[in-house]
């Protein structure tokens, strides 16, 4: 599963099955930054990336979406392993127009990911961000992750938000599923989520 440095080949060397299996198949399938799943989320209110394999260094989730709910913006949180308990903490800083913004919350029922524009935001405005979680499969620690997100609510001053955020899950279990969701409505057409695994050596 880790990346294997590809050797040089001398003139006339034979291309072997082992070359294929180790240098090409294994490296391409599991040795790089590998996309593992992609979901077009139109009509869904929750996206479930399940059966996430262990053995990698980190997982990276990206989301670019819009909500059909009649609001200018909707929070898009996420749950791990389907856990709906009050086991998550969060902390963020960001900016809305010229206003600096921050908040924290403890023992909440979902972790942070991003927010997305709603149906009352400007047409065709999509938003979201990414989430990076190292050591997602380790069972000796609670999980933590960082997020960066952006979304636009209106076309006037203070109608945009950018945010850096930290998330925490009070659980020792290996993360095997990640589920971003919105509280009402569904994801609009063209909303898309990608999950990547980052490998080791």
Partner 1 sequence: MPFTLVPDVAVGASFTEAMWDTYIKGNLNDGLARPVGHTQLGSAAATVTFSSLPGTMGGLLGIWSARSDLVALTTTVMLRFNGDSGTTYDYQRAYAQASLNATEGLTQTSANIGHLPGTTGVANAWSSGFVFVPSYASGSVHKTTYALNAQKWGTTTAMLQVNAYQAIWESTAAITSFQFLCGGGANFLTGSRFTLFGLGLV
Which residue ranges make up the site for partner 1 (CB under 8 A)?
A: 2-3, 5-13, 15, 19, 23-24, 27-28, 31-33, 57-58, 89-93, 100, 102-104, 106-107, 132-135, 138, 140-142, 144-146, 148, 164-168, 170, 172, 198-201
Q: Which CB, 127 or 165, lies closer to partner 1?
A: 165
134 vs 185, which CB is nearer to partner 1? 134
- CB 85, min distance to partner 1, A: 14
Name the residue nearer to partner 1 (CB basis): 39 or 58. Answer: 58
Residue 155 or 200 having the CB closest to partner 1: 200
31-65 exposure pattern, b = at least 16 Cβ within 10 A, e = fewer? beeeebbebebeebeebbbeebeeebebbbbbbbb
Which CB atom, from 32 or from 70, has the smaller least distance to partner 1? 32
Shortest Å distance, C-beta 56 to partner 1: 9
Minimum CB separation of residue 11 from partner 1 in Å reads: 5
Other CB atoms within 10 Å distance of the CB of residue 191: 25
E strand segments, 81-136: 88-96, 99-108, 111-117, 127-134
Question: Dihedral of the CA atoms 10, 14, 17, 21 (nearest 10)?
Answer: 20
Q: How many residues does the chain have?
A: 201
Q: How far is the CB of 99 from partner 1 (least distance, A)?
A: 11
Q: How many distinct helices (H) and strands (E) make up the chain?
A: 1, 11
């Amino acid at each position: 599963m880790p990346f294997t440095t590809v050797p040089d080949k001398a003139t006339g060397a034979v291309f072997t099955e082992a070359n294929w299996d180790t240098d090409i198949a294994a490296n391409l399938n599991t040795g790089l930054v590998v996309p593992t799943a992609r979901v077009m989320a139109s009509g869904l209110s929750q996206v479930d990336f399940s059966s996430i394999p262990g053995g990698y260094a980190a997982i990276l989730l990206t989301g670019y979406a819009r909500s059909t709910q009649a609001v200018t913006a909707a929070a898009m949180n996420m749950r791990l392993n389907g856990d709906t308990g009050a086991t998550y903490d969060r902390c963020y800083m960001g900016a809305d127009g010229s206003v600096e913004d921050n908040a924290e919350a403890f023992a909440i029922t979902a972790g942070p990911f991003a927010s997305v524009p709603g149906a009352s935001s400007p047409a065709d405005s999509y938003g979201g961000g990414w989430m990076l979680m190292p050591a997602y499969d380790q069972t000796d620690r609670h999980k933590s992750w960082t997020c960066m997100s952006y979304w636009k609510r209106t076309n006037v001053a203070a109608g945009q938000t950018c945010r850096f955020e930290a998330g925490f899950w009070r659980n020792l279990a290996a993360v095997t599923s990640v589920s971003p969701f919105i509280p009402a409505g569904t994801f609009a057409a063209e909303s898309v989520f990608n999950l990547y695994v980052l490998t080791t050596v």
